[in-house]
A and B are shown apart, each in its own frame.
Chain A
Amino acid sequence: MRNKLMPLSKAADLIKDGMLLAVGGNAMHRNPTLFSLELARKPLKDLKVSGAAPGIAADILMATGQADTAYFGFFGLENEAGLAPGMRKAMEGEGKARAVEGS
């Protein structure tokens, strides 16, 4: 086994333009939110996010416009946190992002 411990910035450097990401957690629960926020600070583009019930971490990448496609069964934050604002902004109105709903 190899030591894979690294700083957040170095792990975020593994993500490149156009990659398909599976984002863990569910709605507001155990999402890799700070990792997504680190990606939000980078000039990444054409990402695709996926998950059965992606939540706030995937929403961040839709909000910044870095992700242009989402594969999901359900995409929201649930309860008082409500709908996923970044995803809605990316897909509604002038939004160009693509939704691939898988039920």
Chain B
Amino acid sequence: MINAFRAGAYGVPFLPVGGMWGSDLVDIRPEFFQVMKSPFDGEEVVVVKALVPDYAIIHVQEADIYGNARILGPSYQDALLARAAKKTIITTERIVGTYRMQEEPKLTSIPHFLVEAVVELPGGAKPGICFPEYVKVDWDDHKAYQKAVKAGDVKAFADKMLEGRA
């Protein structure tokens, strides 16, 4: 998956990926994986098709109004997802002044020019975790979600979670 997003971010149609030999996925998903010969020495390599998402949707701890975004905890693949996608939507725990980015430019995970929309959305990762803002799953809400999935009533759960938000 990482190399599929990398190919999307680099603007190439596919990338070789090591470590896929022996996996049934190569045979099961020919629309995603293929085997080809290296043009340099004929060695066989597995290649994965590029993924170019229409939007990356990323929740962060801090962003400015222009879309410069900082991820303070673990970043996972989010900086890569933003680069692979055509455009990014940021939801953020809080809006900060651009001076925060200028103080420590290297901490900007996602720069403004990748971003189309910024939404100030405190608690935007609930009932999940957003380190270090809230570090425990809200189990009552999570159980309500699991029940809503079983009952096929996720919309009512969404209405409850978004009550009072614009």
Tell me which of B58, B123, B146 contacts A24 (CB under 8 A). Answer: B58
Interface size on B, residues (CB 8 A): 73
Within 8 A of B (CB), among A35-87: 35-38, 40-41, 50-53, 55-57, 59-60, 63-64, 71-73, 80-81, 85-86
CB-CB under 8 A for A30 and B53, given A6-B119, A24-B58, A35-B91? no
Nearest-neighbor residue (CB-CB) of A73 within chain B: B1
Q: Quick check: B128 and A22 within 8 Å, CB to CB? A: no
- Return chain A residues, CB-CB under 8 Å to B166: 7-9
Q: Quick check: B67 and A85 within 8 Å, CB to CB? A: no
Nearest-neighbor residue (CB-CB) of B122 within chain A: A34
- Return chain A residues, CB-CB under 8 Å to B1: 50-52, 71-73, 102-103
How many residue pairs link A and B with beta carbons under 8 A? The number is: 217
Tell me which of B60, B67, B81, B154 contacts A22 (CB under 8 A). Answer: B81
- Return chain B residues, CB-CB under 8 Å to A8: 91, 119, 121, 162, 165-166
* A28 CB within 8 Å of chain B: yes
Within 8 A of A (CB), among B112-126: 112, 115-121, 123-126
Q: Quick check: B5 and A1 within 8 Å, CB to CB? A: no
Most chain B beta-carbon neighbours within 10 Å: one of A20, A34, A57: A34
CB distance from B88 to the nearest CB of A (A): 9
Q: Quick check: B124 and A41 within 8 Å, CB to CB? A: no
Indicate the size class of the contact surface on chain A. Answer: 35 or more
- Return chain B residues, CB-CB under 8 Å to A4: 65-67, 112, 115-118
Tell me which of B65, B82, B119, B137 contacts A35 (CB under 8 A). Answer: B119
Q: Quick check: A34 and B117 within 8 Å, CB to CB? A: no
Whole-angstrom CA separation of A26 from B149 in the bound complex: 20
- Return chain A residues, CB-CB under 8 Å to B29: 100-101
- Return chain A residues, CB-CB under 8 Å to B57: 21-24, 32, 35-36, 57
Q: Quick check: B112 and A26 within 8 Å, CB to CB? A: no
Q: A5-B95, A32-B124, A37-B162 are in contact. List 5 more A-B contacts (CB 8 A).
A: A1-B98, A29-B76, A51-B1, A57-B59, A81-B137
